[in-house]
Amino acid sequence: MGMVAKTNGTETEYTAKAVVLADGGFQAAPDLLKAHISSAPERLHQRNAGTGTGDGLRMALEVGAAAVGLNRFYGHLISLDALTNDNLWPYPYFDSLVGAAILVDGNGNRIDDEGLGGVHAANAVAGLADPQSAFVVFDQDIWDSAGKNGLISVNPHLTREGGTLHQAESLSGLSGLSALIGTAGLVATVEGFNQAVDSGAIGSLSPERTTLKGTPQAIRTAPFYAAPVCAGITYTMGGIAIDGDARVLRADDSPIDGLYAAGTTTGGLEGGSASGYVGGLSQSAITGLLAAEHAAGWVGPQ
């Protein structure tokens, strides 16, 4: 067991009875993002340090390790203007707002179950053919209520820091003002959404609407708003398959002796269909401790 490190073109071999892989994920690796997260990774916002390039995952795969859950990431919906305005990231993000409103594409159609929260919504936007074509649509009541929730609320931070917020007295006017949302599609979407909210039939919407992380509110109080958003990616949730001792697993679930993985280079603890989030630092601390304890027993007294 061991590894080879390259520094300024010079290779150095390190041998050891145990190796722990912990590189933080592949959120800054365009090739891996394109293969697993988004067809246009260059149109995501790198809401991270830019150092997670998937080296641990690549090394593990080369020696026969299995990977799990590579198609999910932890991140948030942030203003599209964050791509050019550093005052708009890492905050505010739109989690509270989207939980009450709707998330639509350029045709005005809903693209996600907004009730599953901002992390799930960010993954939905990243999965669009154009991840920069989405809008959060809401009205004055939502802007004054859910818009003011959160650590640093969208209302008023978004506009105060120069973020785009389209506003109009009618939904059809809002579509024309934003110039990127299909008028007929948005009007029909909001009407259907409002009817479902009024009748208590939000589960009949497509996509289905739930209330796990937000209560939907009817959108009917002028003025109406549309905020262009993008997906800000913090770290990838999927990665190397491990067991309860943080040992790296093959596809048949057998461990690779002496090889461990920890932190967000691992997979299987987060993600899934609900883009479940347990906390990157918590995951790192726990799997790191598990790897250290088992590796100490594996290596034995020195």
Q: How far from each other are the two terminal CA atoms of the chain, in whole angstroms?
A: 16
Q: Which residues of the chain have pLDDT under 50?
A: none
Q: Answer yes or no: CATH 3.40.1130.10 is held by domain 2-37+49-70+237-299.
A: no
Residue 46 confidence (pLDDT): 96
Report the amino acid identity of residue 206: S
* Residue boundaries of the structural domains of the chain: 2-37+49-70+237-299, 74-232
Per-residue b or e along 81-103, where b marks 16 or more CB atoms closer than 10 Å to that residue's CB:
bbbeeeebbbbbbbbbbbbbbbb
- Which pTM does this prediction carry? 0.93
Look at the chain and count its residues: 302
Q: How far apart are CA 63 and CA 1, in angstroms?
A: 11
Q: How far apart are CA 6 and CA 149, in angstroms?
A: 48
Residue 1 confidence (pLDDT): 63
Angle between helices 171-178 and 183-199 (to 10 degrees): 140
Angle made by CA atoms 5, 269, 287, in degrees to the nearest 5: 50
**Which of 21, 90, 84 has the alpha carbon at shortest distance from 57?**
21
Structure token digits, residue 207: 């996509």
CATH of domain 74-232: 3.90.700.10
Q: 69 with 266: CB under 8 angstroms?
A: no
Residue 36 confidence (pLDDT): 97
Residue 2 confidence (pLDDT): 67
Residue 83 confidence (pLDDT): 96
Per-residue b or e along 194-217, where b marks 16 or more CB atoms closer than 10 Å to that residue's CB:
bebbeeeebeebeeebbeebbebb
